[in-house]
Structure 1
């Protein structure tokens, strides 16, 4: 059996992921409704980012829960490796969609409409995401878990994107900068690609045998 301190930290890490999955699922529903109704590429991209976060968060929950159930070290390592690859793939998918959607909106000069619903979920996320980042990183360090640390960076990408999307939404509404929304979405791509590559590289380093 694992030592009691590690078991305690594993349970807390798993609880954080459980909350994260529930909250991100809420983000998905609200942001996609607001994004498609207003025509905001930034909000749609942000919502799809949340879809990917639900997938990667669920995979990480599976990995942490496996260790709590005292599965073999080899199986833990395999789950860790798979989790890092899921996180890396998540960053790539996010980057591809945001780039395509934003460039399309720029070419067509599409201006999104104002959305109060979108504003509300963005403001709530400005409060929730920093807390998730802190606790994921904290327990990632305690557990020496590269995948939990990588997931904290994934959430940081979401926070960064939240700020960019919120700025774009306000700029379009108050300054009539039609291009601010897709540009705000594009700002996330370089960072997302960098962190995706880092997660992939860490996954390659995990020894499963």
Structure 2
């Protein structure tokens, strides 16, 4: 009979696989919508979904390693790498969103209405809370800082979804051209905070390199 931890590892790995599949679809659709609508918020949201893909994939890699019985030191190494990848990804997204949004504010560029963007945002409002729940569940069961950090990343994506949706509606309904880049900029502080926390957690993981 398999141990409780092994069972949880298998379920967590399966969750990450489905997470990668969904987020990959989300990235493609939201990028298309963002580029065609000239929306900083949608593009920024797509980039955050890209972090979700990277985070879920690297975490799945780490869980797969533990499930296959690799040494504890190697598990720690994979945890550290996973957290560093998450931190680096957040940093890149913050830089891009800041540059793109400020540029559009200066040039007074406005986003166009996007039905495709609206659909993927609404779908995300349903899917992400489910992912957050199960990531927290298995993160706590497995005592995995990386998985809990990944859950926070998904929560940021949910927060972004609400902000981006609000910006999209304000541009369309009230003609507030600045709502889209401002919505994108509201993502930055939260993402920067989570990136810094992931970096600190990674830095505090020690393992034997021999």
Q: Tell me the TM-score range normalised by the shorter chain.
A: over 0.9
The match for 1:42 is 41
Partner SS, residue 112 of structure 2:
coil
Q: What is the CA RMSD across the aligned residues, in angstroms?
A: 0.8
Q: Could you tell me how far apart the structure 1 residues matched to 2:32 and 2:140 are?
A: 36
The match for 2:193 is 194
The match for 1:135 is 134
The match for 1:72 is 71
Map 1:110-129 → 2, pairs under 5 A: 110-129=109-128
The one-character-per-residue Cα deviations of 1:77-103 (angstroms, maximum 9, x if unpaired) are: 000000010111111111111111110
Q: Could you tell me how far apart the structure 2 residues matched to 1:97 and 1:57 are?
A: 21
The match for 2:50 is 51
8 Å CA contact 1:57, 1:151 repeated in 2: yes
Which ranges of structure 1 fall in alignment gaps of 5 or more residues?
none
Partner SS, residue 22 of structure 2:
helix
Partner SS, residue 129 of structure 1:
helix
8 Å CA contact 1:53, 1:90 repeated in 2: no
Deviant stretches of 4+, over 2 Å: none
The match for 2:177 is 178
The one-character-per-residue Cα deviations of 1:54-99 (angstroms, maximum 9, x if unpaired) are: 1121111100000001111011000000001011111111111111
Q: Could you tell me how far apart the structure 2 residues matched to 1:174 and 1:147 are?
A: 40
TM-score normalized by structure 2? 0.97
Alpha-carbon shift at residue 52 of structure 1 (Å): 2.0
